[in-house]
Structure 1
Amino acid sequence: MNQLHGMKLAYAAITLNAVIVGFSFLFTKMALQQATPLDTLVYRFAISFAVMTIPVLFGQVKLNFRGKRLLAALPLAALYPLGFFTLQTFGLQHATSSEGGILYAFTPVLTMIIASLFLRERTTAFQKLSIFLSAFGVVFIFAMKGSGIDWSNMTGILLLFLSCLTSAGYSVLARSLLKTFKPAEVTYLMLGIGFMIFLIASVTNHTASGTLHTIFEPLLSGTFIISVLYLGIFSSLLTALTANYALSKLEASKVGVFSNLSTIVSIVAGAAFLKEEITIYALIGSIMIIAGVMGTNRMGRRSKTINYEAKKKNVKA
């Protein structure tokens, strides 16, 4: 019963994760109107790290790194947030956000491949088809909008692809580390390392360009403050906690496919806040995405139920 309850919480956590990420695109656009990408990342991770540090200091969140291999967690932070956000930021300087959205749709596919190689996770033919269906749903939405990939722009495409690869690698490595680390411990390390590295990079960049005095200027904007509060508390801290918790309970391939739900959320957010039209092709693509997510995870739950029942019969025998 506890295992089943944990799995239900994991599915709820990763669904919440997708919803938060879907709205993060809107808040990221708002923040970038007031600050550079690097400064936005600094404030984003400063807030997330500070917010999590408060309950840690008061003992409400207990972390225990004694006897654990902290060096093993460093590659995780190198993949996410450092690698992912750095590659994504520079990739979007050379490519469009639509190209980024199309490529990011295939992150679950990369996750499935890497998880099968390094974690020996097995997926059925139906689950593989479901993952590809979910990815195709995202591509269908962008394609019907008239978006596509300009293959002549290989610099941006390569950087965005590498950002997807780091995201997939993070899911697989986190799944492995969470056998010895608690989700909160992994999250705290990720946020702390991310904040320190981005702060050093931002201060170095401002010092070199003689603009260090402008680093606090974005805080004069109420829009920026609201945006980074959302990005820091929800889209960094809460998404890290929910993703790490889900990965501690579910296979990486099952968790990865939920990322495509954020495309549906961004469509709803655009309609609600930017008065964008929800088209018929957006609905069709959304149905593909949802069907893909349900297919990937439904088959997994069924196989676990069968295995559980088989074990019960063996015990009785």
Structure 2
Amino acid sequence: MGERTGKLPYILAVINAVIIGLSFLLVKLTLQYAAPLDTLTYRFAAAFCIMIIPIAAGFVKLNYRGKPLHLLLLLATFYPVGYFMLQTYGLQFATSAEGGIISAFTPVATLVLASIFLGETTTPLQKLCILLSTAGVSFIFVMKGSSIDLSQTSGIVLLVAACIVFAGYSVLARVVTRHFTVAEISCFMVGAAFVSLLLYSLSVHSFSGTLPAFVSPLTNATFVACILCLGAVQLVTALLANYILSRIEASKMSAFANLSTVVSIASGAFFLQETVTWYHLLGSFLIIAGVIGSNVALSRRRSATYRKQLESQA
């Protein structure tokens, strides 16, 4: 499939990062009422319910007949099921700051996997800019007094696995989008996550005798409102991510991933009056510079390729 060189995928990649960054506010609010795993389950339950409406109304057509469902199942196993499960359990044995530092290396992991399995190529400048963006995220967390505690081995291993799994999703999605529409991929992913997480949460609460704790947050109107918003966000970001990956290379999309950190810092300062320090600003500058630099390098590369094509035709 030829690469489409329009600007829309890149604009949507920025919008996607902004939405994800803003969603951290809603996640913080929901965690006041429910455990992380329960919140995640309700989040995908809401996304699934929202998704069913246009499908039932006939506005969205799905057709999985005769298509390689094993690829779609593998994709959903990577993300969201595998990624969120690994991340959730990883954060039980490691700090959220450690999770932030490790997740910042997801674009690097994506770059490596895309090069190995898809043959995607990037210039040295693009690689440098992606590393610059990753360094910006890591710098913010390190300056906050955070570091990676290697004694918490199990948590670190799970978080690194989550990073690799998400990178694997980004790479595999490039293949899956050749066989399925964006809607088919997104609906299958959300549905698989909803069923898997619901069964797992019910099993955990049943064995521990805490089913009332699982249900009780639904009596809180604020929690329900936040979960519905998160469900809509989950569905929208799934659609955007799959669309973007159907149009541009995985390594190029990965450059935008760390922008969500900048958005979460800005939204936390604006809405929650969280303190923004000099290292937040410097780290954000590094992230933005890395994203802009990688795309400037991409534009120059395309211009050079286009000039060579014109010269060969002359």
Q: Could you tell me how far 1:214 is from its partner in structure 2?
A: 3.8
User: Higher mean Cα deviation, 293-302 or 163-172?
Assistant: 293-302
- Alpha-carbon distance in structure 1 between the residues aligned to 2:227 and 2:34: 11
- Alpha-carbon distance in structure 2 between the residues aligned to 1:52 and 1:311: 44
Per-residue CA deviations over 1:21-76 (Å, capped at 9, x if unaligned) read 11222222221221122221221111111212211222222222222111111111
Q: Which of residues 298, 301, 309 in structure 2 aligns to 1:303? A: 301
- Alpha-carbon distance in structure 1 between the residues aligned to 2:286 and 2:120: 24
Structure 2: state its 5+ residue gaps: none
- Alpha-carbon distance in structure 2 between the residues aligned to 1:44 and 1:193: 13
Specify the alignment match of 2:102 in structure 1: 103
Specify the alignment match of 1:249 in structure 2: 247
- Alpha-carbon distance in structure 1 between the residues aligned to 2:301 and 2:176: 25
Specify the alignment match of 1:168 in structure 2: 167
Cα gap change, 1:27/1:173 in structure 2, threshold over 3 Å: closer, same or farther?
same
Structure 1 length normalisation: TM-score?
0.94
Q: Which of residues 268, 271, 281 in structure 2 aligns to 1:270? A: 268
Letter of the structure 2 residue corresponding to residue 158 of structure 1: V
- Alpha-carbon distance in structure 2 between the residues aligned to 1:56 and 1:180: 20
- Alpha-carbon distance in structure 2 between the residues aligned to 1:68 and 1:314: 40
Q: Does residue 1:232 correspond to 2:234, yes or no?
A: no
* CA RMSD after TM alignment: 1.6
Q: Could you tell me how far 1:200 is from its partner in structure 2?
A: 0.7
Letter of the structure 1 residue corresponding to residue 249 of structure 2: E
Letter of the structure 2 residue corresponding to residue 36 of structure 1: A
Structure 1: state its 5+ residue gaps: none
Q: Could you tell me how far 1:222 is from its partner in structure 2?
A: 2.3
For residues 33-48 of structure 1, the aligned pairs below 5 Å read: 33-48=32-47
- Alpha-carbon distance in structure 2 between the residues aligned to 1:125 and 1:255: 17
For residues 77-92 of structure 1, the aligned pairs below 5 Å read: 77-92=76-91
- Alpha-carbon distance in structure 2 between the residues aligned to 1:48 and 1:178: 21
Q: Could you tell me how far 1:213 is from its partner in structure 2?
A: 3.7
Structure 2 length normalisation: TM-score?
0.95
Letter of the structure 2 residue corresponding to residue 16 of structure 1: I
- Alpha-carbon distance in structure 2 between the residues aligned to 1:115 and 1:106: 14
Specify the alignment match of 1:204 in structure 2: 203
Q: Could you tell me how far 1:89 is from its partner in structure 2?
A: 0.6
User: What SS does structure 1 have at the residue aligned with 2:258?
Assistant: helix
User: What SS does structure 2 have at the residue aligned with 1:215?
Assistant: helix
User: What SS does structure 2 have at the residue aligned with 1:47?
Assistant: helix
